[in-house]
Amino acid sequence: MFNFVKTAILMAAITALFIVVGGMLGGQQGMLLALLMACGMNFFSYWYSDTMVLKMTNAQQIDEKSAPQFYAAIRDLAEKAGLPMPKVFLINEEAPNAFATGRDPEHASVAATTGILKILSERELRGVMAHELAHIKHRDVLISTVAATMAGAISALANFAMFFSGRDSEGRPTNPMAGIMVAILAPIAASLIQMTISRAREYEADRGGAEIAQDPEALAIALQKIHQFAQAIPFQAVQNHPETAQMMILNPLSGTGLAQLFSTHPPTEERVSRLMAMVKNGVYPEVL
């Protein structure tokens, strides 16, 4: 219920941002047009954002025949988590990563790159997919999926800001600074929204995934491997659609300096440290 409320607040915030931008660029008519656009975007995001994100990442659905071992592992983990079997997708990318999407556990999907299947052992891969199932169980995939599609819409709006600002009788922008500020601030606002909703939920999904798989060490090792390989292998689909980065188990676009301020994930070292603390405390002695 809490994540549903957060999603509603996010939608309301984005709607307000659209209205403000519309007003700055087109007065009352711009505000009305922006309101209509935002309402349509909210409807689309709630019902179809998962499909859009899967298309953005070029994910292809698989079944038990095409990837029997991977599919069976997810089915086993879903049963352990008390979740319906999600749809399963593979992304033909060498960069190792994975994510979950969908508006609720009954309409959920999990996706992994072909690269992650290559670098992780079966045990480590189970840890990663358990993490993604924890996102579904916690019902926070809706807000991340909606945020991805809305961030894309905000970025598109900012790109049009300079071209659709008001003009005077001589064709000059009536408020050129407004267009410039919108173009700068709108993407930053989208990044801040993504950062706010993502960092705490990753810690919770790590903990929940460790509980589902009964193996916190496996996820810790997997995160270290993903972090190492992700530095050298670009995730092309995410580079083309950076708004999807916050959905991944590890942000493939994370950087240093200013970029780190807008990172949608907590530091990998801290995530690994928390998972290994679970091991040290003997939370799951049966797998150690």
What is the SS3 assignment for 249?
coil
Q: What is the C-alpha separation between 61 and 268, in angstroms, rounded?
A: 29
CB atoms within 10 A of CB 190: 25
* DSSP class of 54: H
Within 10 Å of residue 139's Cβ, how many Cβ atoms? 18
User: What CA–CA distances, in Å, run from 228 to 198, 237, 269?
Assistant: 21, 19, 12
Q: Tell me, yes or no, if 122 is annotated catalytic.
A: no
Distance CA 18, CA 39 (A): 10
The encoded tokens of residue 191 equal 């990044």
**Among the options 132, 211, 217, 243, which is catalytic?**
132
Asked if residues 233 and 104 have their Cβ atoms less than 8 Å apart, the reply is no
- Distance from C-alpha of 82 to C-alpha of 205, rounded to nearest angstrom: 15
Roughly what angle, to the nearest 10 degrees, separates helices 141-161 and 176-213? Answer: 160
Q: Which amino acid is at 11?
A: M
> Is the Cβ–Cβ distance between 111 and 90 less than 8 Å?
yes
**Residues annotated as catalytic (active site), given as ranges:** 132
